[in-house]
């Protein structure tokens, strides 16, 4: 992998992890536009590092919230912090179950299935359009809401469904406040990313490290980290200002393009 490939993939990972445009959908479309060829391969260490970068970006942006939660867990009278962490754990279960029991089926969906990607991008677009018109009911996220948001996150494993778009939209449509919808959506993905990285390391062992080329690894990590911090901060501001319909229009256009390519 060259310096420029690592830079591009790192930027794409950092931006699409947080913006509601579906990184998996864009990867599939990009592969098709290259003539059906697979993207340049690199050992799994690169993939692990750019995902670690996006997790670190979330931690940086929400460092105060995370510190308060960790500190609150060990305070005897602070049940709010323990309940919030419990809701995050509950929200992870649907995606974990899908990942563990349907791994082969999920893998089969990725590749050149442009018809599916086009349809799912259009669904993402509709979700984002509805989100901007949702009434803010000042409803807090309880355990039931957390589970529903978690189911949305599990559905977002499908290529073309945006994880951040699906979870934030679901939270808002249920009635959560805009700041809380964004906060919960991004905090709930941290343990999921870290868990996925750990599973990849355990499944592949020493083969993950392969032949290490430091420059592209470092380039991809830094690019994903910086673009991730920018995208996460921007996304929070956009959610508060009800501007997700712009991304809805973008997803609709890309979804239509993907569908046209699939049927030609």
User: What is the mean pLDDT for each group of 10 consecutive residues in the chain (264 residues)?
Assistant: 80 86 74 52 69 92 93 86 94 91 73 80 91 71 93 90 91 88 92 83 65 79 94 90 86 90 80
144-154 pLDDT, tens per residue?
999 999 999 99
Task: Find the domain containing 19 and state its range.
Answer: 3-262
Beta bridge partners of 176: 139
- CA proximity to 178, closest of 210, 213, 147, 134: 134
Task: Give the pLDDT of residue 41.
Answer: 43
Task: Give the pLDDT of residue 109.
Answer: 67
Distance CA 181, CA 185 (A): 6
If residue 101 lies in a helix (H) or strand (E), which one and from where to where? Answer: helix 79-101
Distance CA 224, CA 56 (A): 10
Q: Which residue has the tokens 């996460």?
A: 232
Distance CA 47, CA 200 (A): 10
157-193 pLDDT, tens per residue?
888 899 999 999 999 888 888 889 999 999 998 988 8
Task: Give the pLDDT of residue 205.
Answer: 64
Distance CA 148, CA 137 (A): 17
**Torsion angles phi and psi, residue 96, rounded to 5:** -65, -45
- CA proximity to 164, closest of 69, 57, 256: 57
- Residues 223, 46 contacting (CB under 8 angstroms): no
Task: Give the pLDDT of residue 37.
Answer: 47
Query: Which two three-digit tokens encode residue 222?
Result: 């830094």
- Residues 166, 152 contacting (CB under 8 angstroms): yes
Task: Give the pLDDT of residue 33.
Answer: 63
Q: Is 118 helix (H, G, I), strand (E, B) or coil?
A: helix
- Residues 28, 111 contacting (CB under 8 angstroms): yes
Task: Give the pLDDT of residue 241.
Answer: 82
pTM listed for this prediction: 0.85
First to last CA, the chain: 31
Beta bridge partners of 139: 176
How many folded domains does the chain comprise?
Answer: 1
Task: Give the pLDDT of residue 245.
Answer: 87
Task: Give the pLDDT of residue 159.
Answer: 84
- Residues 166, 154 contacting (CB under 8 angstroms): no
Backbone CA torsion sign across 48, 54, 57, 58: negative
């Amino acid at each position: 992998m060259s310096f420029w490939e690592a830079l591009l993939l790192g930027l794409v990972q950092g931006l699409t992890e947080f913006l509601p445009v579906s990184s998996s959908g864009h990867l599939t479309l990009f592969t098709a536009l290259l003539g059906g060829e697979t993207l340049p391969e690199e050992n799994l260490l690169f993939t692990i590092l750019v995902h670690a970068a996006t997790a670190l970006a979330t931690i940086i942006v929400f460092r105060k919230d995370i510190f308060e939660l960790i500190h609150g867990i060990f305070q005897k009278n602070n049940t709010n912090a323990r309940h919030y962490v419990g809701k995050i754990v509950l929200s992870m279960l649907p995606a974990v179950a899908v990942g563990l029991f349907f791994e082969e089926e999920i893998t089969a969906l990725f590749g050149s299935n442009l018809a599916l990607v086009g349809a799912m991008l259009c669904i993402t677009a509709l979700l984002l359009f509805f989100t901007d018109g949702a009434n803010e009911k000042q409803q807090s996220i309880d355990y039931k809401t957390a589970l529903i948001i978690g189911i949305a996150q599990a559905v977002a494993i499908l290529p073309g469904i945006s994880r951040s778009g699906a979870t934030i939209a679901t939270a808002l449509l249920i009635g959560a406040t805009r700041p809380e919808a964004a906060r919960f959506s991004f905090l709930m993905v941290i343990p999921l990313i870290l868990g996925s990285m750990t599973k990849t390391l355990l499944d592949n062992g020493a083969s993950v490290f392969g032949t290490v080329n430091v420059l592209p690894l470092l380039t991809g990590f830094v690019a994903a980290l910086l673009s991730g911090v920018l995208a996460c901060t921007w996304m929070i501001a956009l959610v508060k200002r009800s501007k997700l319909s712009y991304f809805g229009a973008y997803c609709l256009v890309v979804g239509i393009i993907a569908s046209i390519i699939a049927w030609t």
